[in-house]
Amino acid sequence: MLEDHRTSLYPGCEQGHKKLDTTLEFLQWKAKNGVSDKAFGDLLKLFKNILPEGNKLPETTYEAKKTVCPLGLDVQKIHACPNDCILYRGEEYENLEACPICKALRYKIRRDDLGEVDGQPTNKRIPAKVIWYLAIIPRLRHLFRNKGNARMMRWRTEERQLDGMLRHPADGSQWRNINRTFGLSTDGMNPFGEMSSGHSTWSVTMCIYNLPPWLCMKRKYIIMPIIIQGPKQPGNDIDVYLRPLVKDLKLLWKKEGVLVWDEDKQEEFNLRALLFITINNWPALSNLSGQSNKGYKACIHYMDETESTYLKHCRKVVYMGHRRFLAANHPVWKKGKHSEHKPDHRTKPKHRSGKIVFAMVKDLKVVFGKGPGSQPIESENGHAVMWNKNSIYWELPYWEFLDVRHAIDVMHLTMNFYVNLLGFLGVYGKSKDILEARNDLKHTE
């Protein structure tokens, strides 16, 4: 890498262009403008032919990416079972040709494949499914090698205003006295720009909460450690793909942490970090937490104390007993006409701490996957169970001590609020005041 940094782009280059700097500028241009690998490779060939003979410009996209790999910007391409059972990594699965759970083949079968000649495959084999993992530790190291970024990473301890106002997660009660915290989010997307769910590629993004609020959500500082190939979403099997990330998070929480150079202070220190919270829409929250958010026990906070009933005409489960959450002196408490003609003197259910929740799920055993060998948790009398799995996040030693582990993102929360508001106002085409709803209302009186 140092040699590429010192090597001139071509013999006698008077402008001082170096091989490494020029390659980085080309790759930044490619990413900024969304240029395909093929088009970028053709552009490199064109520039290489224009430049003087003996120039060091990479000729292909692969060579350009290989040049910057020593910077810690490399990507791990990990093969996966097409049924989301396992990742082909580690001593146990790395050399397997088929999934040990569902028996699905690791590689696609091609019609023009002639097999092997002298023990070597005649064609390059294409994996059935792939995930891309961008390790977070090298990216944190590079962040601290920039003097300005390293100074901003200490914003919460050196520049944050301590006036009792809530502007940043550091002002909340959950903040711990640690070095770095992450917020994690994941959701599906259609990479082909179509507004349909026919193809769902999932990405996992992380933001760094030690940065000030005007920077932590900037694209420059958002890390995307995992991309899961489609076309089908992983669903509850997303834990399989989170395994490499959780392994790095465990390493970042160890007492010795990770040795990092601080360019601003000109010193090395042990970096420690934790996953502060996950932020998702409502369906993805269930996939990450392992807790069912539909059916009779859908409340993620009060769980088995959720009060619900089934509307046979609308064919929906609705949730009752909301008077429990009002103030003790509220007049609605004494009015039985609001709920089954009976007064309700119950208090709101107690908040379940992380330790209590962990005790509920620690013995759950699930074999991930969508193939014949998977073993999901069975439903109870045809109804959704309260827990779908023991989430991989419980392997993090600090997860049970967090008060809030999962949150709903503002965009979907706002959208749901206004959809219900439009329905309440009776806007044409948005109202839910239909015959089935009237019949259900009649039977609940």
Nearest partner of 20 among 9, 35, 33, judged by Cα: 9
Residue 336: pLDDT band with limits 50, 70, 90: low
> Is 253 within a domain?
yes
CB contact at 8 A, 399 and 354 = yes
Tokens 């055993």 correspond to 365
> Is residue 144 located within the same domain as residue 251?
yes
What's the pLDDT at 177? Answer: 42
Q: Greater confidence, 190 or 144? A: 144
What's the pLDDT at 210? Answer: 83
> Is 28 within a domain?
yes
Whether the predicted pLDDT of 384 surpasses 60: no
> Is residue 140 located within the same domain as residue 282?
yes
Whether the predicted pLDDT of 358 surpasses 80: yes
What average pLDDT does range 165-171 have in this prediction?
Answer: 68
> Is 41 within a domain?
yes
Residue 250: pLDDT band with limits 50, 70, 90: very high
- What angle do helix axes 61-68 and 19-33 make, rounded to 10 degrees? 120
Question: Where is the domain boundary, 50, 71, 92?
Answer: 71
CB contact at 8 A, 255 and 162 = no
Q: Greater confidence, 260 or 169? A: 260
> Is residue 285 located within the same domain as residue 141?
yes
> Is residue 141 located within the same domain as residue 239?
yes
> Is 394 within a domain?
no
> Is residue 199 located within the same domain as residue 273?
yes
> Is 364 within a domain?
no
Lowest-confidence segment of 115-129, 332-346, 423-437 by average pLDDT: 332-346
CB contact at 8 A, 386 and 299 = no
Q: Greater confidence, 135 or 336? A: 135
Q: Residue 226: beta bridge partners?
A: 133, 204
The span from the CA of 31 to the CA of 61, in Å, is: 12
Question: Where is the domain boundary, 233, 258, 289?
Answer: 289
> Is residue 158 located within the same domain as residue 273?
yes
> Is 224 within a domain?
yes
Q: Greater confidence, 241 or 443? A: 241
Residue 144 exposure: Cα atoms within 13 Å on the Cβ side: 22
Residue 168: pLDDT band with limits 50, 70, 90: low
Domain extent at residue 21 = 2-71
What average pLDDT does range 139-168 have in this prediction?
Answer: 78
What's the pLDDT at 179? Answer: 44
Query: Any residues with CB less than 8 A from the CB of 72 and at least 6 apart, and which?
Result: 135, 138, 139, 141, 142
Whether the predicted pLDDT of 202 surpasses 70: yes
Tokens 């909460």 correspond to 209
> Is residue 66 located within the same domain as residue 145?
no
Q: Could you write out the three-class secondary structure of the chain?
A: CHHHHHCECCCCCCCCCEHHHHHHHHHHHHHHHCCCHHHHHHHHHHHHHHCCCCCCCCCCHHHHHHHHHHHCCCCEEEEECCCCCCECCHHHHCCCCECCCCCCECECCCCCCCCEECCEECCCCCECCEEEECCHHHHHHHHHCCHHHHHHCCHHHHCCCCCCCCCCHHHCCCCCCCCEEEEEEEEEECCCCCCCCCCCEEEEEEEECCCCCCCCCCHHHCEEEEEECCCCCCHHHHHHHHHHHHHHHHHHHCCCCEEEEECCCCEEEEECEEEEEEEECHHHHHHHHCECCCCCCCCCCCHHHCCEEEECCCCEEEECCHHHHCCCCCHHHHCHHHCCCCCCCCCCCCCCCHHHHHHHHCCCCCECCCCCCCECCCCECCECCCECCCCHHHHCCCHHHCCCCEEECHHHHHHHHHHHHHHHCCCCCCCCCCHHHHHHHHHHC
Residue 133: pLDDT band with limits 50, 70, 90: very high
Count of domains forming the chain: 2
> Is residue 159 located within the same domain as residue 240?
yes
> Is 267 within a domain?
yes
> Is residue 140 located within the same domain as residue 281?
yes
Whether the predicted pLDDT of 430 surpasses 60: yes
Q: Quote the mean pLDDT of the chain.
A: 81
Whether the predicted pLDDT of 84 surpasses 60: yes
> Is residue 142 located within the same domain as residue 283?
yes
Lowest-confidence segment of 104-113, 121-130, 173-182, 244-253 by average pLDDT: 173-182
> Is 126 within a domain?
no
Is the torsion defined by CA of 311, 316, 321, 322 positive or negative?
A: negative
What's the pLDDT at 408? Answer: 83
> Is residue 141 located within the same domain as residue 42?
no
What's the pLDDT at 289? Answer: 87
- pTM comes to 0.77
Whether the predicted pLDDT of 429 surpasses 80: no
> Is residue 262 located within the same domain as residue 153?
yes
Question: Where is the domain boundary, 268, 289, 310?
Answer: 289
Q: Residue 187: beta bridge partners?
A: 203
The span from the CA of 18 to the CA of 55, in Å, is: 10
Which tokens in the block code for residue 426?
Answer: 């009776």
